[in-house]
Amino acid sequence: MRERTVVRVLSAPATLRVTPEDIARGEVTGEAPLQVAVETNAPEGARLQLSLATGPAQRVELEGVVASGTSVPSGTGQAATVQAGAQPAVVHVPPHGAGRQRTTLSWRARFTLGPGARPGVYGWPVQVQAVRAAP
């Protein structure tokens, strides 16, 4: 059987709003969580790459919960924090059974603003994609 991993963004803010107060603090928090569904039949689980697009932020810290399987209630999973900036973050989503598996991840994003950041509304800067496991 051919291994396959599919990543779907279930919900994400459309924009990142930066206010003068955020500039003064040097950081801004995303208005809503980033929720992603990962479906894979790979026996080693899945690997996700989280990248930060060009914009006012120089780093993002994603803190959240991994809820394995569709029957696990929100908030009962395993806590995880990852950071991405100049280099993307790679997250391993471990297997939790045999065959096709679905895992839902939910992260809150806190962005560290760069020195040239200006107030405004920007496109959502966090990008998520599946990557092949290292051989």
Indicate the residue type of 80.
A
Give pTM, 2 decimals.
Answer: 0.81
- Give me the percent of the chain exceeding a pLDDT of 70: 86
In this prediction, residue 51 carries a pLDDT of 92
Q: How far apart are CA 95 and CA 124, in angstroms?
A: 29
In this prediction, residue 73 carries a pLDDT of 31
In this prediction, residue 121 carries a pLDDT of 96
Task: Give 29-63 pLDDT, tens digit per residue.
Answer: 999 999 999 998 888 888 888 899 988 999 999 88
pLDDT interval class at 123 (50, 70, 90): very high
Task: Give 56-90 pLDDT, tens digit per residue.
Answer: 999 999 888 655 443 223 343 455 688 889 898 88
6 or 93, greater pLDDT: 6
| pLDDT, mean of residues 17-33 | 95
* Contact yes or no for 41/99 (Cβ under 8 A): yes
* Contact yes or no for 107/34 (Cβ under 8 A): yes
